[in-house]
Amino acid sequence: MNQSFNDITFQSIIGRQPKPMVFDSSEISNLQNERILVTGAGGSIGSQIVKLIAGLEGISYLATDRDEGSLHSLSLDLDSRALFESPQISLLDIRDIQGVKNMIATFKPTMVIHAAALKHLNALQKQPREAILTNVFGTANLIDVSRTNGVEKFVNISTDKAAEPRNVLGYSKKLAELYVAKSRLEGFKNYTSCRFGNVFNSRGSVIETFIYQISNNKPITLTHPEIERYFMSVEEAAYLTIKSALINSGDVHIFDMGQPVALNAIIENLQKSLGRRSSIIITGLRDGEKLSEDLFGKEEKAKSTSEIRIQSANLEFELSENSKVIEQIMNRDEIQLLEKLSRYTNLKTI
């Protein structure tokens, strides 16, 4: 008998209970009177961050995204109207520097939570320029304008693929991390990046793909029988991202996601939950794909923070090693950066 989609829970598929997610009184107090600009607010993580913020009193927020359909869905969740009448929801393309300037000058945020990004490994391997324009220059636009306008806190959502990057996605996000770290080095101590893995059943995720394939009696495509990944619930990711903004130590914050989970085990759990079985086709590792993701780079040393579920690392060594690349980002030197990112295409998989 077929099971319900309601049986597909984080615990039943990933095999661990999500960690408690409650802001304590001091954290709520520290968030009071913040004016928070969220980019990528229509995405899985960004929308959950907005919902958490909207549930706290004394916080002003502006939810932005370049996709009006995603903002429409978010607006429905927030007020059941989705008429785009709310001043708290606005279109914004982070690649448009003038639009970023206008938005930040008008809203006057005290904090930016930057969730907008291109995140699909295969797509960016084929189109590295898009990774530069969004993940690198888009982030740089926000950082530069935030600094000019005196924004006190900035959280850049990164990925575990930025640790020892082997693909365009990972390298573009590492460049964004380095640009944020440059600001910390120059005195903006509350500017940081947070690094985590896959968000459970988020839009465009591998789990969404598996569910579609199993539900429609299609073969399940798996790149390697031993591949494994770190997973978080979307609630955990959003909660720890906001907490990350309250920690002023470390260039990068790395979230506790438990142990990595074999995708083979996830497929088995999904088939049990859905009451269906499909054949598995091993397609081979994709260009730049790893069997297991790293959380820290070789030159990064893990340090504890005030939050037990968040560790930090500093990027001083990588900043000094990449001073020329940082200058290219500052100058928006697309040609030079495209040449660097192109080296991360057609890599031998590991």
Question: How many whole angstroms separate alpha carbon 175 and alpha carbon 252?
Answer: 12
DSSP 288: T
CB count, 10 Å around CB of 267?
21
Q: CA dist 166 to 41, 101, 123, Å?
A: 28, 33, 15
∠ CA 212-17-27, nearest 5°, is 110
Question: How many whole angstroms separate alpha carbon 151 and alpha carbon 190?
Answer: 10
CB count, 10 Å around CB of 114?
26
Question: How many whole angstroms separate alpha carbon 35 and alpha carbon 18?
Answer: 29
Question: How many whole angstroms separate alpha carbon 129 and alpha carbon 168?
Answer: 10
Please list, in sequence order, all residues whose beta carbon lies within 8 angstroms of the beta carbon of residue 9, skipping any fewer than 6 positions away: none
Residue 283 corresponds to which tokens in the numbers above? 């397609």
Task: Give the active site residue among 119, 161, 243, 290.
Answer: 161
Q: Is residue 19 annotated as a catalytic residue, yes or no?
A: no
Strands (DSSP E) contained in the chain are: 35-39, 60-65, 89-91, 111-114, 153-157, 191-195, 198-199, 220-222, 228-229, 231-232, 252-255, 261-262, 280-282, 303-304, 310-313
Positions annotated as catalytic residues are: 161
